[in-house]
Structures are given as structure tokens and as C-alpha cells.
Amino acid sequence: MCDKPKILIVHPEGNIKGNPNLMAIAKLIVQKGWEVLVYSLQFDYVYQGDIFPGARFVYFGNSPDETAKIERGFKNEDIRFVIGIDDLGINKAQKIASFLCVPYLFLSYEILFDHEIERIGSQADHRSKRLAKKAAKGIQCAIVQDEARKVCLAREYEIPEEKIILMPVSNTGSHHLKPSNYFHDLLGIQPDKHILLYMGWMDAKQEQRLLSFVPYLPDDWVIVAHSRYKYTATVQHEHIGERLFISFDKPIENIDEMGTLLSDCDAGFCTYEPSDDSIYTGDNIRYIGLSSGKTTTFLQYGVPVVVENMNIWDDLVERYGFGFELKKLTDLSRLNELMVGDASNKAIRFFDDYLDATRFFPAVWEVVEKTNKVSSFKPFAFYGYLMGVYRRHLAEKCKNSVKFLLGRK
């Protein structure tokens, strides 16, 4: 029996099981009769392990030599295409694709802006962005989430706009949930209270930010915060456990199990606050748009949303009737509007019509199929790869010799 052709997804972050879009892409690839290898760093705080039948992790080595050995082993796999995720992923994807003589594409979830790297970025950030621009010159296509981010990606990575495919950060298949008392029972919330659920990164700063919304909630509403990863900050504020509850239960291991949480919330809270002290939280957040996976996941499960600082969503929620924009804190008084009418069904309808990944995947797969048919073996590529490794080895040896000589003076 012949091995199935494979796609290698280079995803250093390694949290595919928490990324609705990347999980969807991997599943859709497997449904095409291919297999998926997810090449990642290994982390204790991220759920990794088994993915699903047809997809599996391959982890970076613990040293450069071990990593190089693993990557040479890809020659023994029938890898036909490589996908690089964000800057670090596309940099390594370009090298591996060149070594394997196969095409590759750039999937962008985080856009890093030159002016922010220039202002606060490290030397490693400068180098990574420079290499990402270089790697992007050889891509078959790039994937980004919406028109605004398309313009940003084209400018920041010098990619022709006609090479960019749009695909929101979203999963496949909507769900009508049966209500549960998951959070009410877990956190001791009074049964007559409605839940506004925040999901995402949690730390002490975000805790204080969520507390600022509490005084403006209707009397029969509370906020529940459920961390993307295990929340470790110390909780000391007096309002914790009164109107703001933080779930210390373990995060959901797999994005496909989100219904467990969402079955016991009445609205989703999608709030972002750009911060110029990090290259990841400045313009990347200002132009968050359809790259917000938490927003699309709420809608997938029929949960109306309250959005803040989310540009394109600010208009969509009102126009399509599945939530409202928080323009000022007192707007939280509108929460009870979501309990009447058809907001839940409108959320699902919007997901089905505009967000479901199956609507966008065919454009991606067309690129894979077309390049898979025309790609040919380059006989000197492997030799070139080995020569590159050898040159780097000589350069390192020379650098160490210089250090030795300087140390003697």
C-alpha cells in the first residue's frame, strides 16, 4: 500500500489544537486523501499530543544538530507541499521546501509591522522579518483574513496582492447548543445570572481591565473569564467571585470541544486593546478584523457577541443583528437586548454564509493541486542544501577561531 502524499505545516507556536482555522485546514487536507505533519516546538503549557487521524506532530529537536537531523528525515516522507505559519514558520518553510524541491505558501495570522520593529523590536525581530520578506518572494500564494489585513500584508512583506487569498480565522460547521449549567455549577454562580464570557489571554493586567466593565453590567449579568492557557496570576480583588468570575478549570484541550464552555454563556465578549509596547499588540491588533478566532467561534456556536475595538466587526454586528458594538461603557446596558429576538440564529446564519472555512478552502486547494501537478525534481537542490549547511559550519568554525585568537591577546 502506497503512502499518502503529505503536507508539512511549519508552525513553531505549536497550538494548532487551539486554532480553529488551522485545525479546519488540516482536516480539510486530510479529507482530500492527504496526510498532515505539523512541525512545531514542544511546550508544556500548550495541549499538543495526538491531533486526529491523518495528522500528527513532528517536534523540533533540542539542539540545532538534532533539528537538522529531523529535517533531513523529511526526505523519507512523501511531502508534496509546505505551509509556513507567520514569520518564523515561513522562514523555516522556505528552507525545507527548497531542500525537498516542493512549493510552499505563507499563512499569516500575525502581521508584524516594520515601523514597530524599528521602534521596539529586538535584533532577532529585525532578522526574522528580513528573512520572512525574502522567503515570501518564493511563495505560491499567501493567506490572510480580510481586505484590510491583505493590504497590510502586501505592504509589510512585499507580496503582490494578486498572490493573496482571503480566509477568516474560522472553523467548519455551525452548532446549535443545548444549554447547560457548566460555569454556574463550576464557579457557584447564582442560577438567575446571565453570563458574558471572555475567552483569551489572561493575566493580572487583563483581570483589572475586565473589572473595569463590572459596574456597568445589568444587575442580572456577570462576566466569566476563561483563559486560553492555564491562568496563574494571583487573584486578590474583592469583586472576584461577585460579578467577575475567573475559571481556574483547565482550558479546553481541543478547539472542537468548545461547546462545553459555550453551552453556558449568553453572550461572548470580544474586547481588544492595542498596546504599543509589543510588536504583536500594536497595529496587528488595531487591524484585528477577521483574524479574531474567538469571535468566529462564538458565532459558530450561535452565541451573540459584544465587540470593542474591532474595526470591521463594529459594523457587522449591528448590520446583521448578532450583537452590538461597545462604544462606551454604558452600552453594556444593552446586554438584555440579546436575550430577546433572534440574535443566536443570526449568529449561526452569518457564520454559515460568510465564515465557514469550507467556503474559502477550495481556493487554497486549487493552488496545492496545480503546483503538485507541475512541480518537478531539481537534481542539484539537495546538493545545494548540503553546501549551505557546510558553509554555515565553516562560518561558525571561523567565528570560534577568531574568538580564540582574540582571547589570547
336 in the same domain as 372: no
Torsion angle in degrees (nearest 10) through CA of 284, 290, 292, 294: 180
Q: Which helix (H) or strand (E) holds 264?
A: none
Q: Are residues 251 and 166 in the same domain?
A: no
pLDDT in tens, 144-154: 999 999 999 99
Q: How is residue 17 written as a grid cell?
A: 489544537
| Residue 69 covered by a domain | yes
Q: Which helix (H) or strand (E) holds 85?
A: strand 79-85
Locate 94 and state its grid cell. 522556505
Q: Is the pLDDT reported for residue 379 higher than 80?
A: no
**Closest of 183, 102, 91, 172 to residue 137, by C-alpha:** 91
Structural domain includes residue 1: no
Residue 178 within any structural domain of the chain: no
- 77 lies in the same domain as 150: yes
Q: Give domain status of residue 275, yes or no.
A: no
Is 236's pLDDT higher than 90? no
Lowest mean pLDDT among 42-46, 97-101, 383-387: 383-387
238 and 163, same domain (yes or no): no
87-91, 94-98, 148-152, 238-242: the lowest-pLDDT one = 238-242
> What whole-number distance in Å separates Cα of residue 15 and Cα of residue 337?
36
Does 51 share its domain with 161?
yes
pLDDT at 138 over 90: yes
Strand order in the sheet with 35-40: 55-59, 35-40, 6-10, 79-85, 104-107, 142-144, 164-166
Residue 96: which of 51, 152, 37, 48 has the closest Cα?
A: 37
Task: Using the predicted structure, report yes or no on whether residue 383 has a pLDDT greater than 60.
Answer: no
Q: CA 343 to CA 333: how far, in whole Å?
A: 16
Contacts of 79 (CB under 8 A, 6+ apart): 5, 6, 7, 8, 37, 100, 102
| Residue 58: inside a domain | yes
* Predicted confidence (pLDDT) at residue 90 exceeds the cutoff of 70: yes
The reported pLDDT for the residue numbered 311 is: 85
Q: What are the Cα distances from residue 69, in Å, to 30, 75, 212? A: 26, 11, 51
Cell of 135: 522567503
User: Is residue 363 a part of any domain in this protein?
Assistant: yes
| Same domain assignment for residues 157 and 247 | no
Please give the average per-residue pLDDT across 312-336, as a whole number.
95
| pLDDT tens sequence across 338-351 | 988 899 999 999 99
Query: Which DSSP state fits 51?
Result: -
What CATH number is associated with residue 89? 3.40.50.2000
Chain-centroid distance, C-alpha 75: 28
Examine the domain organization and report whether 99 and 62 are in the same domain: yes
pLDDT at 198 over 60: yes
- Give the span between the Cα atoms of 90 and 12, in whole angstroms: 10
Across 121-136, b (16+ Cβ under 10 Å) vs e yields beeebeebbebbbebb
Q: Are 70 and 58 in contact (CB under 8 A)?
A: yes
Long-range contacts of 114-122 (CB under 8 A, 24+ apart): 114/156, 116/276, 116/279, 116/282, 116/283, 117/279, 120/276, 120/277, 120/278, 120/279, 121/279
User: pTM higher than 0.85 for the full model?
Assistant: yes
Domain interval for residue 231: 192-270+301-355
Give the dihedral sign, CA 385/101/93/69.
negative
Cell triple for residue 299?
Answer: 458565532
CA–CA distance, 276 with 293 (Å, rounded to integer):
22
Q: How many separate domains does the chain show?
A: 2
The number of C-alpha atoms within 13 Å of 178 and in the hemisphere containing its C-beta is 0
**Contact, 193 vs 214, CB < 8 A?**
no
Is 396 within a domain? no
- Residue 18 sits in the same domain as residue 163: yes
Query: Domain check: are 143 and 209 in the same one?
Result: no
CA dihedral 321, 202, 176, 319 (to 10 degrees): 10
Region of 132 (left: φ > 0; alpha: ψ -120 to 50; beta: rest) is alpha
pLDDT at 242: 81
Residue 203's pLDDT band (cuts 50, 70, 90): confident
**pLDDT tens-digit series, residues 20-44:** 999 999 999 999 999 999 999 998 8
Grid cell at residue 216: 456597568
Residues 98, 217 within the same domain: no
Q: Do 99 and 207 sit in the same domain of this protein? A: no
Instruction: Tally DSSP H helices, then E strands, for the chain.
Output: 15, 13
Burial class (CB in 10 A: 0-12, 13-18, 19+), 400: exposed
Question: Which pLDDT tens digit goes with each residue over 46-80?
Answer: 778 899 999 999 999 999 999 999 999 999 999 99
CB 39 within 8 A of CB 9: yes
**What is the pLDDT of the chain when averaged over all its residues?**
88
Query: What confidence category does residue 400 fall into, taking pLDDT thresholds of 50, 70 and 90?
Result: very low
User: According to the model, what pLDDT value does residue 249 have?
Assistant: 64
pLDDT of residue 233: 52
pLDDT in the model for residue 398: 42
398 within a domain of the structure (yes/no): no
DSSP 305: E
Q: Residue range 305-311: average pLDDT?
A: 93
Per-residue pLDDT tens digits for 260-292: 899 999 999 999 999 999 999 999 999 999 999
Question: In this structure, are 138 and 203 located in the same domain?
Answer: no
Instruction: Check pLDDT > 80 for residue 384.
Output: no
Q: Percent of the chain beyond pLDDT 70?
A: 86
